[in-house]
Structure 1
Amino acid sequence: MALRSSLWYSGNDRNSYIHRAWMRRGLPREAFEGGKPHIAIANTASDLTPCNSHLNEVAESVAHGVWEAGGVPLNLPVVSLGETNVRPTAMLWRNLAAMATEEMLRANPVDGVVLLGGCDKTIPSLLMAAASVDLPAVVMPGGPMLTGHFRGAPLGCGTDVWRLSEEVRAGTLSREEFLRSESSMIRSRGHCNTMGTASTMACMAEALGMTIPGTAGTPAPDSRLLERSHETGRLAVELVARERRPSRVMTRGSFLNAIVTLAAVGGSTNAVVHLLAIAGRLGVDLSLDDFDRTGSGVPLLVDLQPAGRHLMDDLFRAGGLAAVLKEVEDLLDPEAVAVTGRPLVEHLAGAEIWDESVIRRRADPLLPDAGIAVLRGNLAPGGAVIKPAAASPELLRHRGRAVVFESIEDVHARLDSPALDVDETSVLVLRGCGPKGYPGMPEVGNLPLPAKLLEKGVRDMVRISDARMSGTAYGTVVLHTAPEAAAGGPLAKVRTGDPIVLDVAARRLDVDIPDAELAARRPATTGYAEPARGWERLYVDHVTQADRGADLDFLIGSSGDRVGRESH
């Protein structure tokens, strides 16, 4: 097999001389001889992405494995998006990170790649890039942090931030006590310890077959993470030898396995837009309706925040993702393979549940039907999603009066006003926060509740938006409403006082006014100024709606490796 890197390094002409000579800063001559594959380590380590700050250590273990297997490891820092720091939202740059990584893989003399990610957008962007360039690739997730404690109770990062901050607003927790919890929330290296988006996407990578089975959920400080990193480096060399590419691993069956997994673990709604985007890069036929069809009837087996009680290190000690998938093995595609070359289901044979309070048996689920529900109606002709596992059961069928906010700034300005005309039966509607509208589709869909209702003991209300919400969040929240208001969707025509009808069982989301009246209304404007230049301008002009993964329209579809023309 002719290695891709040999196009740069083989031969005795001036250009091959230049390529080898400039890389000889530590690489021996043998690195360019004997058919040694060059493996990029696409590394999202960054001090400004705190959940990924330990990935340089992980990269070292990967490199040891690559050397041991006869390859040449090459650290390749790529765009890193820190969910907690980047403003206005990391999602604005997911597609940019994917595009930049894709082009760097395509442009450089590498034969395969190990994808190191952890924070919410890093694994999705890396998988999108790998899908587009289609070089042999494997994911090594950075792992969740260990559980911190406050006043003797475990803290779920993200989920307990929302909970405790609402208690402050309700007057049941002092601000001083709230701030005391800050140093306890983040106990160690690693990403969020709830089943938020970071944990979810690590599980999705494994369900798609793109990690060594048994990797997802290994805590970041656990020495077994470095052991698995070494093994992943070794496997990357094998992937090149066997030409095992993402397009051979991530098939339609793999994506359906991911949807089953998403329901069984109670994963983040953000996985919907990420999986759609990854499938779009491969040209795999996957639609929003597949999430409802395949996820419907799948039980919730993992008792983790935000849908349950426990946290990620509990899931790992209880048997991990493999034990969960073993319980729903009959729902998985038996032919979908992992990067090992064997069907994913073959790796489940020895899986055991060691703590049934964390991982429930199929016969005793946390919820019998936990799939992401896809809603349609005159408010969401392109679809909207809700996570029933994180919602209040009594609100899954609800009729209430709309209270409309034009932007998240409008929420901040008016939500806690005593004059706000709202009660616990109202439906909070937020618009102007979709892919184009903000832009970037920020995680603001889990609107805080009005202070005067919190003081009355109200802890959940129906909320509807064209935004996303954090995977660590909870509540009866309808998200990703498509088309969004800024793209002319019906959400732009809703007025305060309109009756909103939510019926999750019937998969409906409607404003109960005559169709003719809705059609005749002029849409509201959010007042957000469209960007004039740069990435934001390109993004707004080309981003698709949430039901297509919010990717850029010109990046959808299989691309493959195209070695550029040589020029010096």
Structure 2
Amino acid sequence: MNLRSDQWFRAAPDISFQHRAAMRAIGHLPDSYIGKPIVGIFNSWNDLNSCNYPHKELVEYVKRGVLLAGGYPVELHTITTAADFMKSSDLPYRNLMSMDIEELIRSLPLDGVVLLCECDKTTPAQLMAAASCDIPALQLAAGHRTSGTYRGKTLNYGTDLWKVLDERRAGQLDASEWMEIEKCMNCSLGGCPVMGTASTMKSISEVLGMMLPGTSSIPANHAQRKEAAELTGRRIVEMVKEGLTPSKLMTPDAFDNAIKLLAAIGGSTNAVLHLTAIAGRLGIDIELEQYAKASNGVPLLVNLQPSGAYNMDDFYESGGLSAVIQQLLPYLNRDCLAATGESIEIVYRESEIFRPEVIATIDHPFKFISGIAVVKGNLAPQGAILKRSAASDGLFIHKGQAVVFDGYQDMMNRIDSDELDVDKDSVLVLKNCGPVAEGMPEWGSIPIPKKLLQQGVTDMVRISDARMSGTSYGTIILHVSPEAFVGGALAVVRNGDVIDLDVQAGRLDLLIEDTELNQRMEDLVPRQHKHQRGYLSLFAHQVQQAHEGCDLKFLRPRNEDQQKFIEPTVGKG
């Protein structure tokens, strides 16, 4: 084998001597690793990330698989992106984590990598790094957590969280009920047990060929999760020997498949940012319109929260992602490779559905309308998106007067005020929450005003330049681009302005004269970046807009002369 690690350990005598001596200090004997694929296992658990915490144990099973296959495992730790705690937004740290992994791979003697993922941004961060480095790579998910129960009723962390928050605000839960729910909602380790961003990105990783078939939907507490870990360790050694790299798996056709799968599973809107960023690292441009075009006609096959009723345990028992891909094969580019090196048609064609109430067939889908809708107009010249499957059809064509919030704190201060001039036909507008302004937090799911909740209103049109959690739902227009902070038209919307939404026509317009719009734009006063030092300052100055994936500009190759990854010069000291 022609191993990358040979540059460190089989090079000129003085160079290899130093490196072998350093390995001996840690207990790595030359006969144990020289001439074998050295596999870096990138672990992303820490004591504040309950989603990824199972990897503290699973890593040992990956190591065993690597050893049994004739490789040599080394464990490395990276930053993690604990979505529950990283405020105001975990999105900037997706890019930082991808840099962390890329630079470790660049500078260390690794022939292949296993990337241990789960929480929302760890999975795309690792895929972005894998795309940039393009050495054999494979992901292993920690798995989803068990759903909780509250007084005999299933309670899923994520989607049900937003429901009980609204019930609390509407005065339907007292303090003792609220505390009881807190104790039983989050009862085990792993990712959210619904089709939120974590489950969506694991599914996408598998269909892209970056995760072993059948492993993305195994629960965190299932014994098969350990089996998946060992098999992942075995497979990465084979991939090194085969020279099977991410660029051979994550092709333009594979990304097209991922967008279609996104529609079929009712996946998170965050996937739009992540897929665009991952593809961009490979020099593949995904235009925003491709999300609407590729998913056109692809029905919703999965009856899972937030677009349906069931949870990830039900999904796994029903046949999991393998069953969905099998049904979707007529829509897919079937020659794309799975992580086994075989075509997805060969890998998934025999998969079965075991609970049709959870996973439907193409002929009798759960919902005929799904996928990401893209809207453009004078309010969003570069586009904005809507998750069809989680929205209200009756609001797809809507005109209403804007109720404007100039930032998150303004919204929180006024949303429940009895003085708020709002009714069920109003359009709630939240500005200055985009990638440059705030790192693009999940603030786009603007709460229904308290007085409307008490009247029984459950949905209304909401518009922002922010994101929303993959577990959220509603007729919510997100990722308005360009964002308000950098002078996008969202910045000049005023209370009482009429906004016209037509999802079917792909339009989002502010109904004022062009001369008035232009004058308002000219009158805008530039804002100063919130962060003036550190990584978040770098992020604010380098981040791309939402329609480009919110990657950092200097990490995206723009032409063939800009290399994505330069191998290190291996020398002494």
Cα deviation for residue 546 of structure 1 reads: 0.5
Distance 1:524 1:315 in 2: 49
Cα deviation for residue 224 of structure 1 reads: 0.3
Distance 1:65 1:26 in 2: 20
Aligned-residue identity in percent:
46
Distance 1:413 1:397 in 2: 29
Q: Give the equivalent residue in structure 2 for 1:334.
A: 334
Q: Which amino acid aligns with 2:428?
A: L
Q: Give the equivalent residue in structure 2 for 1:137.
A: 137
Cα deviation for residue 417 of structure 1 reads: 1.3
Distance 1:22 1:519 in 2: 64
Distance 2:274 2:11 in 1: 42
Cα deviation for residue 87 of structure 1 reads: 1.3
Distance 2:279 2:445 in 1: 27
Q: Give the equivalent residue in structure 2 for 1:247.
A: 247
Q: Which amino acid aligns with 1:32?
A: Y
Instruction: Specify whether residues 302 and 528 from structure 1 end up closer, same or farther in structure 2 by C-alpha distance, changes over 3 A only.
Output: farther
Does the alignment pair 1:167 with 2:172?
no
Q: Could you say what secondary structure the match of 2:463 adopts?
A: strand
Q: Give the equivalent residue in structure 1 for 2:230.
A: 230
Cα deviation for residue 198 of structure 1 reads: 0.5
Q: Could you say what secondary structure the match of 1:89 adopts?
A: coil
Cα deviation for residue 429 of structure 1 reads: 0.2
Q: Which amino acid aligns with 1:441?
A: M
Cα deviation for residue 528 of structure 1 reads: 6.8
The answer (yes or no) to whether the contact 1:147–1:154 under 8 Å persists in 2 is yes
Distance 2:238 2:114 in 1: 12
Does the alignment pair 1:316 with 2:345?
no
Q: Compare 18-27 and 472-481 and name the one that shifted more.
A: 18-27
Q: Could you say what secondary structure the match of 1:334 adopts?
A: coil
Cα deviation for residue 303 of structure 1 reads: 0.3
Instruction: Specify whether residues 50 and 564 from structure 1 end up closer, same or farther in structure 2 by C-alpha distance, changes over 3 A only.
Output: farther
Q: Give the equivalent residue in structure 1 for 2:455.
A: 456
Q: Compare 409-418 and 260-269 and name the one that shifted more.
A: 409-418
Distance 1:174 1:459 in 2: 20
Alignment of 1:348-359 (within 5 A): 348-359=348-359
The answer (yes or no) to whether the contact 1:148–1:155 under 8 Å persists in 2 is yes
Cα deviation for residue 507 of structure 1 reads: 1.1
Does the alignment pair 1:445 with 2:444?
yes
Q: Compare 202-211 and 168-177 and name the one that shifted more.
A: 168-177
Distance 2:215 2:528 in 1: 43
Distance 1:140 1:84 in 2: 21
C-alpha deviations, 1:524-563, integer Å up to 9, x for none? 5697753111111111111000000000111112613512
Q: Which amino acid aligns with 2:509?
A: D
Alignment of 1:401-440 (within 5 A): 401-438=401-438, 440=439
C-alpha deviations, 1:134-161, integer Å up to 9, x for none? 1110111111111211111111211111
Q: Could you say what secondary structure the match of 1:328 adopts?
A: helix
Q: Compare 19-28 and 66-75 and name the one that shifted more.
A: 19-28
Does the alignment pair 1:28 with 2:29?
yes
The answer (yes or no) to whether the contact 2:115–2:126 under 8 Å persists in 1 is yes
The answer (yes or no) to whether the contact 1:218–1:224 under 8 Å persists in 2 is yes
Alignment of 1:155-234 (within 5 A): 155-234=155-234
The answer (yes or no) to whether the contact 1:486–1:525 under 8 Å persists in 2 is no
Q: Could you say what secondary structure the match of 2:362 adopts?
A: coil
Unaligned stretches of 5+ in structure 1? none
Distance 1:546 1:226 in 2: 37
Q: Give the equivalent residue in structure 2 for 1:58.
A: 58
C-alpha deviations, 1:124-182, integer Å up to 9, x for none? 00000010011110111111111211111111211111100101111122232122111
Distance 1:320 1:186 in 2: 22
Q: Compare 516-525 and 425-434 and name the one that shifted more.
A: 516-525
Distance 2:566 2:27 in 1: 28
Cα deviation for residue 565 of structure 1 reads: 4.3
TM-score by length of 2: 0.97
Q: Give the equivalent residue in structure 1 for 2:42.
A: 42
Q: Which amino acid aligns with 1:164?
A: V
Distance 2:183 2:144 in 1: 17
Alignment of 1:291-310 (within 5 A): 291-310=291-310
Distance 1:290 1:80 in 2: 30
Distance 2:81 2:525 in 1: 30
Q: Give the equivalent residue in structure 1 for 2:345.
A: 345
Q: Give the equivalent residue in structure 2 for 1:103.
A: 103
Q: Which amino acid aligns with 1:453?
A: L
Distance 1:11 1:363 in 2: 60
Q: Could you say what secondary structure the match of 1:3 adopts?
A: coil
Cα deviation for residue 300 of structure 1 reads: 0.3
The answer (yes or no) to whether the contact 1:112–1:135 under 8 Å persists in 2 is yes
C-alpha deviations, 1:320-364, integer Å up to 9, x for none? 111011111111102211221111221112200000110011122
Q: Which amino acid aligns with 1:501?
A: D
The answer (yes or no) to whether the contact 1:107–1:563 under 8 Å persists in 2 is yes
Q: Which amino acid aligns with 2:518?
A: A
Alignment of 1:1-12 (within 5 A): 1-11=1-11
Instruction: Specify whether residues 173 and 250 from structure 1 end up closer, same or farther in structure 2 by C-alpha distance, changes over 3 A only.
Output: same
Distance 1:345 1:515 in 2: 52
Q: Which amino acid aligns with 1:30?
A: D
Q: Which amino acid aligns with 1:66?
A: V
Query: What RMSD, in angstroms, separates the aligned Cα atoms of the two structures?
Result: 1.4
Q: Could you say what secondary structure the match of 1:304 adopts?
A: coil
TM-score by length of 1: 0.98
Unaligned stretches of 5+ in structure 2? 558-562
The answer (yes or no) to whether the contact 1:299–1:362 under 8 Å persists in 2 is yes
Q: Give the equivalent residue in structure 1 for 2:382.
A: 382
Q: Give the equivalent residue in structure 2 for 1:257.
A: 257
Cα deviation for residue 369 of structure 1 reads: 2.1
Instruction: Specify whether residues 524 and 450 from structure 1 end up closer, same or farther in structure 2 by C-alpha distance, changes over 3 A only.
Output: farther
Cα deviation for residue 476 of structure 1 reads: 0.7
Alignment of 1:281-300 (within 5 A): 281-300=281-300
Distance 1:503 1:544 in 2: 27
Q: Give the equivalent residue in structure 2 for 1:564.
A: 569
The answer (yes or no) to whether the contact 1:466–1:485 under 8 Å persists in 2 is yes
Q: Could you say what secondary structure the match of 1:75 adopts?
A: strand
Distance 2:198 2:70 in 1: 32
Instruction: Specify whether residues 449 and 528 from structure 1 end up closer, same or farther in structure 2 by C-alpha distance, changes over 3 A only.
Output: farther
Q: Give the equivalent residue in structure 1 for 2:19.
A: 19
Distance 2:21 2:460 in 1: 64
Could you list the structure 1 runs, at least 4 aligned residues long, displaced by more than 3 angstroms after superposition: 522-529
The answer (yes or no) to whether the contact 1:39–1:73 under 8 Å persists in 2 is yes
Distance 1:526 1:30 in 2: 62
Q: Which amino acid aligns with 1:460?
A: D
Q: Could you say what secondary structure the match of 1:376 adopts?
A: strand
Instruction: Specify whether residues 64 and 150 from structure 1 end up closer, same or farther in structure 2 by C-alpha distance, changes over 3 A only.
Output: same
Cα deviation for residue 269 of structure 1 reads: 0.1
C-alpha deviations, 1:215-260, integer Å up to 9, x for none? 1111011110110110110111011111111011100011011001
C-alpha deviations, 1:245-279, integer Å up to 9, x for none? 10111000110110011000000000000000000
Instruction: Specify whether residues 200 and 362 from structure 1 end up closer, same or farther in structure 2 by C-alpha distance, changes over 3 A only.
Output: same
C-alpha deviations, 1:492-549, integer Å up to 9, x for none? 1111100011111111111111122111114656977531111111111110000000
C-alpha deviations, 1:84-113, integer Å up to 9, x for none? 011111112111111111011111000000
Q: Give the equivalent residue in structure 1 for 2:560.
A: none
Q: Give the equivalent residue in structure 2 for 1:504.
A: 503
Q: Compare 520-529 and 65-74 and name the one that shifted more.
A: 520-529
Cα deviation for residue 426 of structure 1 reads: 0.3
The answer (yes or no) to whether the contact 2:33–2:71 under 8 Å persists in 1 is no
Distance 1:47 1:542 in 2: 30
Cα deviation for residue 393 of structure 1 reads: 1.5
Distance 1:442 1:524 in 2: 23
Distance 2:285 2:412 in 1: 40
